[in-house]
């Protein structure tokens, strides 16, 4: 006996992709996420391609994943996709110590974060 299938949380015209354990702070990642919110998918990919931020490369991979999910799993038209949401969350923090003067040490925190990208297919009316 197997479990019953859970209902989809998103509507039929929306698809998401989540990327966890990105080695950057949520504050820096949110700057990149802000730059693609509300854009058409092709425009968002171009924005990420020519961004000077290091983490934009990984966000671009996540956006490609969301586009692929929309095309292969849900049969949505990729030409009419828009980045509906791109939100960032905190993840774990690696704690390291650095040697300081007079036998002391100081703490170095290396944060990780995660990003969720939701793409939506626009209807013919829009």
Read off φ and ψ for residue 113, nearest 5 degrees.
-145, 175
For the chain, list the domains and their CATH numbers: 14-121 (3.90.470.10)
Taking the C-alpha atoms of residue 99 and residue 66, their distance in angstroms, rounded to an integer, is 43
Query: Virtual CA dihedral for 39, 113, 58, 66, nearest 10 degrees?
Result: -50
62-94 confidence digits (pLDDT tens): 999 999 999 999 999 999 999 999 999 999 999
Question: Across the chain, what does the average pLDDT equal?
Answer: 94
pLDDT at res. 2 = 83
- pLDDT of 125 strictly over 60: no
Give the predicted TM-score (pTM) of the model. 0.89
């Amino acid at each position: 006996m197997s479990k019953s299938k859970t209902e989809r949380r998103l509507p039929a015209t929306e698809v998401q992709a989540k990327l966890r354990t990105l080695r950057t702070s949520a504050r820096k990642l949110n700057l990149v996420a802000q730059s693609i919110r509300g854009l058409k998918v092709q425009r968002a990919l171009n924005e990420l391609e020519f961004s000077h931020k290091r983490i934009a490369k990984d966000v671009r991979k996540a956006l490609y994943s969301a586009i692929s999910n929309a095309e292969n799993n849900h049969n949505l038209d990729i030409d009419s996709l828009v980045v509906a949401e791109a939100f960032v969350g905190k993840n774990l923090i690696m704690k390291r110590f650095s040697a300081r003067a007079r036998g002391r040490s100081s703490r170095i925190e290396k944060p990780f974060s995660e990003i969720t990208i939701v793409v939506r297919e626009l209807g013919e009316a829009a």
